[in-house]
Amino acid sequence: MTSEIINPRGAAGTERADAAGTAEAAASLLDPVFALHRGGKMEVASTVPVRDAADLSLAYTPGVASVCAAIAEQPELVHDYTWTSQVVAVVTDGSAVLGLGDIGPGASMPVMEGKAILFKEFGGVDAVPLALDTQDVDEIVETVARLAPSFGGINLEDIAAPRCFEIERRLQERVDIPVFHDDQHGTAVVTLAALRNAARLSGRGLAELRVVISGAGAAGAAIARILLGAGIGDVALCDRKGVLSADRAELTGVKAELAAATNKAGVTGSLADALAGADVFVGVSGGSVPEEAVATMAPGAFVFAMANPTPEIHPEVAARYAAVVATGRSDYPNQINNVLAFPGIFAGALRVRAARITEGMKLAAAEALAAVVADELSPSKVIPSPFDTRVAPAVAAAVAEAARAEGVARR
């Protein structure tokens, strides 16, 4: 059976389904998600006209040769005469895609395309998705490092922990453009911004708060680090075995480092043990937290249950005990959404041709993001909407200024 389909760009396509797959194919044709994704969500568009021979001679040969020769003589000119310093590579190995897990490079491409269009729509930043057919750290680092001269920044996406930590570190050592693992740092920036405003709303400072993070993977580790950098009172991370603490001899690598830097209160035991008297819960792990454990948190607590689509604590349950509730979902107030961070962060870094994204730049991004709604605070508004047009410009300006202050800007 053959059925003709019109894709979103208006080009006709042909889909063939055998008898066994006819019902599934027909269902997919009626699904608006499949209709939107058919043919992909991106295209390359020229910024210059090619209408006649004169245009062609300027855009390509022979005119292009003089620009190439100038860049060969002065390599820095590549940033003025190509798109290199204005475009980001969105790189994945397909190992930790959304809530789907290790689905591989091909299946990850709709997400990477989506990330690229978010860069463009929310930050005005061009981005190219690159799904790599390897999960070997050495191969990923070598591949991306060799591609780096074509880009102004590298956004690592949906790469599983702990591999993602080493890839980011080693890549940043190899290249002189920003390398940013959004699952870590984007989440951390938005979480800190929301927590700053929740604290302001309640008349408290960050130094007064004890935070419990459920999940010690990429996002949990980055959130812990940025909170420590922002002056949080105390933070305890919990993995599947309980609180990261000095008495857990099996901890190695990143978890051992975090155990040494966190949990000043010396809490041991389970997540439920850590929650007793805690001011803040941050969930980036999935699973479910019993209501009786939530009930033991301090009065006026904040619950940021960010697992998607099912928060670790249902918002209606959290609201019985917490003064501020945030989730990762768009159908509840206070959505902790990375799109509030990464477009502006990269826009600011690219604007000044930053060599890297520093901790100071992340803290500046969080403060700028929080400030967008500082005069509009309420329990249901401690973070801007992803569609607030003030967000990306404010974050970009703060990041660019911080890059200059820290000496990593090159223009």
CB atoms within 10 A of CB 253: 11
The residue annotated as part of the active site, out of 60, 81, 241, 264, is: 60
DSSP class of 86: G
| 381 included as an active-site residue | no
Bridge partners (DSSP) of residue 87 are 126
Bridge partners (DSSP) of residue 243 are 238
* CA distance linking residue 375 with residue 358, whole number of Å: 28
The sign of the dihedral angle between the CA atoms of 398, 400, 402, 404 is negative
183 appears as a binding residue in the annotation = yes
SS3 192: helix
SS3 362: helix
CB 49 within 8 A of CB 55: yes
157 appears as a binding residue in the annotation = yes
| 81 included as an active-site residue | no
Does an H or E element contain 165, and which?
helix 163-174
Q: Per-residue b/e over 208-228, b at no fewer than 16 CB within 10 Å?
A: ebbbbbbbbbbbbbbbbbbbb
158 appears as a binding residue in the annotation = yes
Peptide linkage before 129 cis (omega within 30 of 0): no
SS3 340: helix
The residue annotated as part of the active site, out of 115, 255, 332, 362, is: 115
Does an H or E element contain 325, and which?
strand 322-327
* CA distance linking residue 187 with residue 96, whole number of Å: 15
Helix and strand numbers (H, E) in the chain are: 17, 12
Pair of tokens at residue 106: 């091909």
CB 275 within 8 A of CB 212: yes
CB atoms within 10 A of CB 178: 26
Query: Residues with catalytic annotation?
Result: 60, 115
Numbered residues of the known binding site: 157-158, 183, 308, 337
Numbered residues of the known binding site for (S)-malate: 308, 337
Numbered residues of the known binding site for a divalent metal cation: 157-158, 183
